[in-house]
Structure formats: C-alpha cells, structure tokens
Chain A
Amino acid sequence: QITLKESGPTLVKPTQTLTLTCTFSGFSLSTSGVGVGWIRQPPGKALEWLALIYWDDDKRYSPSLKSRLTITKDTSKNQVVLTMTNMDPVDTATYYCAHSWDYYDSSGYYSNAFDIWGQGTMVTVSS
C-alpha cells in the first residue's frame, strides 16, 4: 500500500524559505519508472503543479516558479524535499505531494499521472 505524508511549517514569514518534506512508504524512489511530485492549491483556487523528481534524479519544475524551487530526494529515508525561496502571501496554499509513474507506451506516448496523493499540508505566509 502506497502512502505519502507532507510535513513542514504551517506558518512562514514573507521572504523566508519554505522547506517541505514528503515521507512515503510502499514504494522506492530508486525503482525505474517512479516519481514524486509536488502540487499546491491556494484556498478556493485550482491545483497548481510545482515540481517532479524521477527515480533517476531527473527533475522538472514549473516554469513560472523554477527560480524559487528545488526538489531533492533521499532514497534511504524514503523522502522528497521541496524548498521554495522568497515566500510571499500569495504562496499561501495547501501543498500536496503525490506518487507518479513514468514510461513510454508501445505507441511512443509518454505516460505519467499522479495516482496516490498525500493528505496535504496548509502553509500560511504572513508576517
């Protein structure tokens, strides 16, 4: 059974750096075709994808936030860490991590989706 859980501060001040940890079980991030992504959702608004790290340490970032984001993995601890610098009140949101797969199917199309999600952690940015 795959589970993921986000942890980190609930309140950060503007300009500070946010560090979130996703601790997971039921899979290994050293297994081919596995990834973990981060997605956030401001109160009452839509989902926004942030970043994804693959089993081979390849990384993808949201173009609009790339300069502020860093995603890393610790395979031995079954953890993925997301850091976001220069936090602003508009970054107030629930932050989710999610398990994903990635492979190219027989037609050559890239298949990837977020199939198992953590419960999310609410982060408020305020002075």
Chain B
Amino acid sequence: QSVLTQPPSVSAAPGQKVTISCSGSSSNIGNNYVSWYQQLPGTAPKLLIYENNKRPSGIPDRFSGSKSGTSATLGITGLQTGDEADYYCGTWDSSLSAPHYVFGTGTKVTVL
C-alpha cells in the first residue's frame, strides 16, 4: 500500500479547473520535493511537475503544483479532453531502513 494518498477520481467540465491532493507525512512530502506524473491511457507516465511547482520544458502553464506541510496539490486549469488521464504524485521517503521513492495511489481525471 502506498504511503501517499490521492483521491481515486476527480472530474469537471471542459474549461473548468480540477485539483488533485496528495497526502503524506513528515518522512516523505514534509521533507522532500514532490513530482507529478501524467499517464494517458495506454502510454508510459510523463513528468508534469518537479520540485513541487516547476514544469519541464513543453508542459503548459495550465498545470501547476504546490506543497504545504505534508500535502501537495496538482492543479489543472482550462481542462481539455486531452487531459483525461491518471495522475500520480511521487517523492522520496526516509522512513524504514533506507531512502526510497514512493508514488501516490493515483487519481483518474475525467472530463465531463
């Protein structure tokens, strides 16, 4: 079971905004940068946000990230049908015997 909890699904109409939460703890989100990944149906994941709020080259500014305490949030504005995908947060965790990377439980975004 993942230590990062996300809502199973969120939905909104085209043009609207959605936010996806990622809840963790002090051993992971609380003391590490968070990344977000988008996985379109049948494809490999793609890096969407890194270091909490930075976008790789080519990622539109409709996608934004933030972090507060032990939670992180991904926001998508101007929702498009092409944004229908699964979204995962990810970060390092320093609990247990050695640092390890963890992904969130994943959130499916549906455009109504």
Contacts and interface: CB of A to CB of B under 8 A. Distances in A.
A and B: interacting chains = yes
B24 interface: no
Given A114-B37, A119-B44, A49 B102 contact: yes
A110 B106 contact: no
Interface residues of B, number: 27
A25 interface: no
B96 A49 contact: no
Contacts, number: 70
Interface string B34-49: 0101010000111100
A63 interface: yes
Contact of B88 (A47, A52, A110, A118): A47
Interface residues of A, number: 25
Contact of A49 (B47, B98, B103): B103
Interface in B44-95: 44-47, 50-51, 56, 88, 90, 92
B61 to A, nearest CB: 18
A43 B44 CA distance: 13
Interface of B: 2, 32-33, 35, 37, 39, 44-47, 50-51, 56, 88, 90, 92, 96-106
**Top 9 A-B residue pairs of the complex, sorted by shortest distance between their CB atoms:** A49-B101, A113-B35, A113-B50, A117-B44, A47-B103, A46-B106, A63-B96, A115-B47, A120-B44
Given A109-B33, A110-B33, A110-B92, 5 more contacts: A48-B103, A96-B45, A105-B51, A119-B44, A120-B44
